[in-house]
Amino acid sequence: MKYLALVFGLISVIGFTQSKKGMVPKTYVAYKTIDKIVVDGDDSDASWSKVDWSDAFIDIEGVQKPKYNTQVKMLWDETNYYILAKMQEPHVWANLKQRDTIIFYNNDFEVFIDPDGDTFNYYELEINALNTVWDLFLSKPYRENDLVVLNDWNITGLQSAVKISGTLNNPNDTDEGWMLEIAIPWAAYQKSYGEDNVPRDNFWRVNFSRVNWQHDIINGKYERKKDAAGKFLPEYNWVWSPQGVINMHEPEKWGYVYFSSKEGKDIFTIPQDEKVKWELYTLYRAQKRYYQKNNTWAKSLELLSKSPIVIDGKTIKPVLENYKTGYTISVKSPFSNKIVTIKEDGRFLK
């Protein structure tokens, strides 16, 4: 797995120094469907017509509007989490056919899921226009050096299908785009046998990314475009919930998907304790920078933040505790009275 660490570890280092404060994650209410969803790459199932498309994707840093539009819809039932992605694309092409190869070397659609929101033990799924799948499990974000990536982990029972509005791999015409329909069994994310992990009236941290490359047509085939020195031009990264950095592997910035069992319209508001977590992550990143500069952890929060931390009119007062192997930053939430704690590796303690 060294190649994965190299690819994403480099992105993580670059993105870490560019973080933008104040970017609020997107939210989406996924409704329960009582009708069967046929996974065929089409939105003709009646249940899809009853729910809204997400906001249009933005570039990963949250700045530029993408050249082509991307939106998603979501549904769920007691068995599966359903995702429908619609991607505008005048040139639909793909050539990777082997499962678990590096699918983002083609234009692709990507799903990132962290069920418990602690930024550890999360899942990634990438699919191209040939419906070739790359699914993997990550024990922790790439920013932690002792990462474990399980590339041979598979989503048992995964269903996916692609429908192309146009013709695949034909440079002689102009396409409208492609649609991808996915059904992910809840059971694939169980931590123990028989666990009831269906998030009824609860939220998971989720994000979606679309990788899009500039291309050339060589001998009648699509290929990623290269510069004058023969190096591939960088890809575009278009996402549902912007990261603020060129790095999808900061799960604390992902969006919130609320799985509603309500028959009528439902409203989801990000819990205030989640905002407390955001502020602890700000301190965590400040500690990372402090350590990189001084080769030791800061012993006082005053070295990391000079201003009071105010959330929805409430001032929080975190406490830093240093240990031989790291540190914790804890705070009692003024909203729930729960103790929220983050470790030196960015993981929340339950």
**Is the model's pLDDT at 29 over the cut of 90?**
yes
Q: For the chain, what is the HEC assignment?
A: CHHHHHHHHHHHHHHHCCCCCCCCCCEEEEEECCCCCCCCCCCCCHHHHCCCCCCCCEECCCCCCCCCCEEEEEEECCCEEEEEEEEECCCCCCCCCCCCCCHHHCCEEEEEEECCCCCCCEEEEEEECCCCEEEEEECCCCCCCCCCEECCCCCCCCEEEEEEECCCCCCCCCCCEEEEEEEEEHHHHCCCCCCCCCCCCEEEEEEEEEEECCEEEECCEEEECECCCCCECCCEEEECCCCCCCCCCCHHHCEEEEEECCCCCCCCCCCHHHHHHHHHHHHHHHHHHHHHHHCCCCCCHHHCCCCCEEECCEEECCEEEECCCCEEEEEECCCCCCEEEEECCCCEEC
Tokens read off for 175: 């396409």
CB 113 within 8 A of CB 122: yes
CB 258 within 8 A of CB 203: yes
Cα–Cα dist 30/203, whole Å: 9
Q: Which residues are CB-neighbours of 303 under 8 A, at least 6 positions away?
A: 290
Cα–Cα dist 105/107, whole Å: 7
The pLDDT tens digits of the residues spanning 111-130 come to 999 999 999 999 999 999 99
Mean of the pLDDT values across residues 319-338? 96
Closest-CA residue to 71 (of 270, 242, 269, 208): 208
Mean of the pLDDT values across residues 306-330? 95
Phi, psi of 154 (to 5 degrees): -120, 145
Query: Pairing relation of β-strands 27-32 and 255-260?
Result: parallel
pLDDT of residue 144: 82
CB 285 within 8 A of CB 16: yes
The pLDDT tens digits of the residues spanning 134-188 come to 999 999 998 887 667 899 999 999 999 999 999 999 999 999 999 999 999 999 9
**Is the model's pLDDT at 19 over the cut of 80?**
no
Mean of the pLDDT values across residues 211-231? 96
pLDDT of residue 145: 74
Sign of the four-CA dihedral 300, 301, 307, 313: negative
CB 266 within 8 A of CB 260: yes
The pLDDT tens digits of the residues spanning 1-17 come to 333 433 443 333 333 33
Q: pLDDT tier at 194 (50, 70, 90 boundaries)? A: confident
Q: pLDDT tier at 21 (50, 70, 90 boundaries)? A: low
pLDDT of residue 148: 77
Mean of the pLDDT values across residues 79-103? 98
Tokens read off for 221: 């085939």
The pLDDT tens digits of the residues spanning 258-301 come to 999 999 899 999 999 999 999 999 999 999 999 999 999 999 99
If you compute the radius of gyration of the chain from its CA atoms, what whole number of angstroms results?
A: 21
Tokens read off for 186: 């809840």
| 338 exposure class (CB count in 10 Å sphere: 0-12, 13-18, 19+) | exposed
pLDDT of residue 292: 94
Phi/psi-derived region of residue 347, left when phi > 0, alpha when psi is between -120 and 50, beta in every other case: beta
pTM of the model: 0.93
pLDDT of residue 12: 34
